[in-house]
């Protein structure tokens, strides 16, 4: 009985001993961090990288949340995508692939119907070429899905259910 208990204990002890040896071995090749020069240029570069990283993520979140291609995403009067359009579509592509699709709104803006139809084909073609399954996209042409509602009544969509007042969106329920 003592032998089986001893055998059960030697496995974990041996594993801990090997892990300790591995850590000691890893530390022998460690560089001395005090030799790295941390001057104003290094601080500036690090701060710039941090700000660009944070702001870049915020921009990507905004693009994903808005999910809209506007007329300024095209070279004026054409179907050619601007560099900003390619960046925005790239962010949306990644989002659609990761989440299995979604909604994309393409605004007509100042384009006539023929140019707008060509722009839609351009956007669809770009996304399809980039690997987005087009069946997973709901491409819309309008921002507000309550088409046909008067804008003065749009606040009804945001009224609390317990409110007796149709425009009681600024008053708390308890008052």
Q: What is the pLDDT of residue 20?
A: 63
Average pLDDT over the chain, rounded to an integer:
77
Dihedral of the alpha carbons of 94, 98, 101, 107, in degrees to the nearest 10: -30
Q: What is the pLDDT of residue 160?
A: 45
Q: Considering only CA atoms, give the Rg of the chain.
A: 29
pLDDT band, residue 8 (cuts 50/70/90): low
| Cβ proximity of 103 and 140 under 8 Å | yes
Task: Flag whether pLDDT at 14 surpasses 80.
Answer: no
Could you tell me what percentage of the chain is helix, strand and coil, using 3-state DSSP and rounding each to the nearest 5? Answer: 60, 5, 35
pLDDT digits over 45-68, tens only? Answer: 888 888 878 888 888 888 999 899
DSSP 112-152: -HHHHHHHHHHHHHHHHHTT--GGGEEEES-S-S-TTS-GG
Q: What are the structural domains, with CATH classification, of the chain? A: 67-144 (3.30.1330.60)
């Amino acid at each position: 009985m003592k032998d089986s208990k001893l055998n059960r204990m030697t496995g974990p002890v041996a594993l801990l001993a090997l892990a300790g040896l591995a850590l000691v071995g890893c530390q022998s090749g460690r560089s001395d961090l005090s030799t790295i020069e941390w001057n104003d240029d290094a601080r500036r570069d690090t701060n710039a990288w941090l700000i660009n990283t944070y702001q870049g993520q915020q921009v990507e979140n905004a693009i994903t949340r808005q999910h809209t291609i506007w007329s300024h995403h095209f070279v004026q009067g054409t179907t050619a995508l601007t560099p900003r359009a390619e960046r925005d579509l790239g962010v949306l592509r990644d989002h659609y692939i990761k989440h299995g699709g979604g909604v994309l709104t393409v605004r007509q803006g100042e384009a006539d119907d023929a140019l707008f139809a060509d722009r839609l084909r351009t956007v669809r073609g770009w996304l399809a070429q980039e690997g987005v399954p087009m069946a997973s996209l709901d491409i819309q042409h309008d921002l507000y899905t309550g088409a046909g509602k008067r804008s003065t009544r749009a606040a009804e969509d945001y009224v609390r259910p317990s409110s007796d007042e149709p425009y009681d969106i600024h008053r708390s329920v308890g008052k």
